[in-house]
Structure 1
């Protein structure tokens, strides 16, 4: 367990963040200028702070100079040495678990190439491998996909998932892209002007109506974890979740495997009665757990289905006309096409 307690006063705001990071990926999310990069630079020892306490399983990392903290750092750009081959770049960090890391990140065919011949996604995989081969106890990733286009992001994502699933070190993943966070992270810390405004498990935070003002209306939406039941001949995949069965587009995952499905709040339609004769395939029986009027023209409705939680965003006119209230049982309708492939992992 990594424990962080950072305080740093800037001209525009004060960064004040205390939180724990278990094994796996913890996302630090927030708008530009909220203090995300400053936070992980402080953890790495690159930023002098008013208060800086970083411990890993009781070992005070903040008492050590940066080069002795055993922290791996991956930047937005790969920062590879142009005169070295991929293998030489990897070995610059060290040779810890060399064969395993090369295999994990799919770098076998790249070892003799130079950075100039790599795609952006390939270069980021090499940068990630270099950080891992230093044998870090903690890994910091500062928006590692932000400089990549959509195809290159899609190329790197499975390797980040494999890293999450096959290593046991605490990782902090800085991002302002909620699709990345929902797909990769188990925990989330949301920053606003240097302050932690909400934190917890990704499932809990993203399905909490009170978190919507800090996450953003466009990014609000729950994450459901489910088991792949099978793939239909028409190209759809059936995923069994605690909320019920969902049909998602494309041949996602493997039968029996586990996937995450992100359901944006703005793509959930509510009905008081069980819909009939609709094109939508995903109709879930739910109970209202919260109704948040917010400050704008929309209403965010928290929904519960078994152990699963969902969000819906409707207009105030619709909420008033339906008379939505806590504990009432209604139906949530999710179009299959609203669950884009980028929202399923």
Structure 2
């Protein structure tokens, strides 16, 4: 299934003019506040009538302004989860879930069981929303949306109101959702870390326009995207497979360029993971370094250098089948004679990779 969107709408002082295609999986709408992300999902949901545009889901047209076609929101088969989950406080979890009805009938017990298992909420059915944690509330809201059997799922910054422990609680369930939902999912976020964990496709919005689109690994590792992503959040996502869990608390992973050692990862041997390595945590060397405490040394070839307005240079390096980014000073780049095509080694401290930057990549398995 796929979603195709083309929208134009004018507000005082701001105009949305965006078009993109979202395949099956998670398509992240990324951008700073005010870039038009929520406006897009509201138009897809039918909560906003744009001045002009089209919205098509799996060949079914929901909006075509040129033909004055506008399918009302209740008939769009769209699941929408807001930043505030909006559960009914007087209903139990089970009754909140039952409110999410299929078009044409209530969800069966089998489908309800499948969704509650997928989201890990089957033990919460008798509870009231006020007795739930923030992460549990959002999972129930997602379950309610999925039990409507939507053709597309819209998630508008579902983790923005959660603290770090609650985000860590819910991210694995979102990864399962990405792999098993089998529908397009539009995920609105301004968090690079969330996008790196979850997205298969990234759409970058700036001032109401699409300025970048493509697979998450390509967009996030593109040095020219740093102006939208933020220099402190610049980094690359690489794929790795779990080889071994060592007795000293380290997990050994295999990447396309070599071995990667990280603090113990809660994943089975053979599992495929996404690992986000921030550019500020990478040190470069022209020769293979020796006598370092750092365990991770990945060889590669420099593919581009992007000089900023300040003293920094963002270096992109092809390492095996992956891309690695490093943020160094101009002085270091000059001293090392870093140029496109030069061989290089990326040095990454084991403890510099945060647990939140390591996630499942089931779709790749």
- TM interval, shorter chain, is over 0.9
Superposition TM-score, scaled by structure 1 size: 0.98
Distance in 1 separating the partners of 2:318 and 2:232: 21
Unmatched tracts of structure 2, length 5 or more: 64-69, 360-365
| Contact map agreement 1:160 1:184 (CA 8 A) in 2 | yes
Question: Is residue 223 of structure 2 the alignment partner of residue 209 of structure 1?
Answer: yes
Residue pairs, 1:328-339, within 5 angstroms: 328-339=342-353
CA contact (8 A) 1:243 1:309 kept: no
Within a 5 Å distance, the mapping from 1:46-195 to structure 2 comes to 46-62=47-63, 63-94=70-101, 95-96=106-107, 97-195=111-209
- Bigger Cα displacement from structure 2, 110-119 vs 136-145: 110-119
User: Whole-Å Cα distance in 2 between the matches of residues 256 and 45 of structure 1?
Assistant: 43
Distance 2:318 2:24 in 1: 28
Q: In terms of mean alpha carbon deviation, does 94-103 or 210-219 score higher? A: 94-103
Quote the residue 2:34 is aligned against.
33
Please say if residues 237 and 252 of structure 1, whose CA atoms lie closer than 8 Å, have aligned partners that are also in contact. no
Give the drift of 1:195: 1.2
RMSD: 1.0
Alignment of 1:299-338 (within 5 A): 299-338=313-352
- Cα distance per residue 1:48-70 (max 9 Å; x no partner): 21122111222101231111110
Residues 170-198 of structure 1: CA distance to partner in whole angstroms, max 9, x if unpaired? 00100111111100111101111111111
- Measured after TM superposition, the shift of residue 23 of structure 1 is 0.6
1:188-228 CA-partner distances (Å, limit 9, x unpaired): 01111111111100100111111111111111100001110
SS at match of 1:234: coil
User: Any idea what the Cα deviations from partners look like across 1:60-92, whole Å, max 9, x if unmatched?
Assistant: 012311111100000001100011110000010
Q: In structure 2, how many angstroms separate the alpha carbons of the residues matched to 1:69 and 1:150?
A: 34
TM-score by length of 2: 0.93
* Aligned residues of 1:85 and 1:111 also touching (Cα < 8 A): yes
- SS at the partner of 1:79? coil
Equivalent pair of 1:143/1:174 in contact (CA under 8 Å)? yes
Contact residue 85 and residue 138 of structure 2 kept, 8 A: yes
Aligned partners of 1:282 and 1:218: how far apart in 2? 21
Q: Which secondary structure does the structure 2 equivalent of 1:61 belong to?
A: strand
CA distance in 1, matches of 2:62, 2:233: 34
The runs of at least 4 consecutive aligned structure 1 residues that moved more than 6 Å come to none
- CA distance in 1 between counterparts of 2:266 and 2:322 reads 20
Structure 1 residue 10: Cα displacement:
1.7
Q: Cα offset for 1:32?
A: 1.0
Q: Which residue of 2 aligns with 1:236?
A: 250
Q: How far apart, CA to CA, are the structure 2 residues paired with 1:252 and 1:270?
A: 29
Per-residue CA deviation, residues 22-48 of structure 1 (Å, 9 max, x unaligned), is 111011111111111111111111112
CA apart distance, 1:154: 1.0
Shift of 1:108: 1.5
CA contact (8 A) 2:113 2:122 kept: no
Q: After TM superposition, give the deviation of residue 252 of structure 1 in Å.
A: 3.2
Report the counterpart of residue 279 of structure 1 in structure 2: 293
Aligned-residue offset at 1:260:
0.6
